Amino acid sequence: MTDKNEQDAHLSGLIQIKRVSRRRPRETPDDKRKTKCASFCYSVRSGGKHIILCQDAFVKIHSITPARIRRLQNSLVTVGKSPRDKRGLHSNRPNKFCNEVIFLTEAHIMSFQPRQSHYSIRKNPNIYYLPGELSIKDMHSMFVSEYKINIPYKIYWHTFKNKFSIKFGYPRSDTCAECDSYAQKLNNKELMGEERKNIETQKELHLRKAEAFFDLRRKYKAKAQAGEIECLTFDYMQNLPLPHIPTNPVFYARQLWYYIFGVHNVATNEAAIYTYSEGTAKKGCNDITSMILHYINNHNFTSRNLVLISDGCPGQNKNYIMLHFIYFLVHVLKLFDEILYIYPIRGHSYLPNDQDFALIETKKNDVQKESKFPMSEMF
């Protein structure tokens, strides 16, 4: 019973009013102490029977306060039934906003369509983010301008903070160049008519191609988890400098680059990380094919159909060396019967490798804060 009225009705049913069996005479006629008008008997139900209890046991069993017992007693004596909860029913707050306004506030907050962080979705699956250029104050101003309701900023802020798990992210640095180009052109108010319509059509087509890739990736992920195919994604992390020391002279010195290459198995959600410095090898197509071949030779695959997903960098992935490597896997080594290689729309890849690299970046920052040692001591 979550409703207080139901709880009071239940408790009142367990309290029985009795007449006062004995009254003691007053010592003096001027004694003005209040005369007891009723006596009460408390009980609980167990096995279809009523078990008589004292007031202290009744209070402890139901985890209530003696003050609540007194309120029930007064209501039973004066009205003959349990009291009604009147909280929130008074009308002495003229500035209180109705539920419809609060509902409009919640709907307005959700209309901004917050998104999950691609890089920290494993660590914070229930937190959503809005663009870093936005703020609660800006959202409140938009609400007042759109609905013409002068709701105080404090109420809007309270609704945002207490009813939503939404934060403001940092300004994005890995946006799609083509999307930014369309947005820049459409921001030009002088662009009108057929030219604006053509740009909007091109932008919509570009976004639909990106969404088609996401649908395709979800499709192959389901097949990989079902054991029908094998699906691998691979990519390089941003180069890390060695040593990673936050002092001014280091920025002007020649640093050694540290390369991190990741292969992510979509079916098992496991990642293999290959690390080496620029003095060991480069980041060309020969290096990538060597690491992929090493990964394939050291893992047992149950399916003979393989799907590869990576970005379309011409110097690393989209070239004839990669094509010959795929031909080598199928027709020479005969490890697979069929290999499908998918290149996503540029700027809209968002591969699972990004989440793996985000964990490495977080660990790197944590180690630096705790020990203040160079990043090279992590590996």
Same domain, 192 and 48: no
Q: What is the reported pLDDT for 296?
A: 95
Helices 66-78 and 55-62 pack at an angle, to 10 degrees, of 110
Q: Contact 204/211 with Cβ under 8 angstroms?
A: no
Q: What is the reported pLDDT for 165?
A: 80
Same domain, 69 and 138: no
**Domain contains 350:** yes
Instruction: Report the phi/psi class of residue 343: left, alpha or beta, with left for phi > 0 and alpha for psi in -120 to 50.
Output: beta
pLDDT level of residue 376 (50, 70, 90 thresholds) = very low
Same domain, 186 and 241: no
Average pLDDT, stretch 146-161?
86
Average pLDDT, stretch 73-88?
84
What Cα–Cα distance (Å) separates residue 283 from each residue in 51, 150, 238? 81, 58, 12
Half-sphere exposure of 107 (CA within 13 A, CB side): 8
- Look up the domain containing 59 and give its range: 4-22+35-78
**Domain contains 85:** no
Same domain, 161 and 227: no
Same domain, 49 and 104: no
Average pLDDT, stretch 337-356?
85
Per-residue DSSP letter, 189? T
**Domain contains 88:** no
* Average per-residue pLDDT for the chain: 82
Same domain, 227 and 202: no
Q: What is the reported pLDDT for 378?
A: 47
Same domain, 162 and 199: no
Same domain, 353 and 225: yes
Distance, CA of 355 to CA of 117 (rounded, Å): 9
Distance, CA of 108 to CA of 140 (rounded, Å): 9
Number of neighbouring beta carbons within 10 Å of residue 234: 23
Structurally, how many domains does the chain consist of?
Answer: 4
Q: Contact 139/112 with Cβ under 8 angstroms?
A: yes
Taking the model in full, what pTM does it have?
A: 0.54
**Domain contains 92:** no
Weakest-pLDDT range from 186-195, 207-216, 308-317: 186-195
Same domain, 366 and 273: yes
**Domain contains 321:** yes
Whether residue 88 has pLDDT greater than 70: no
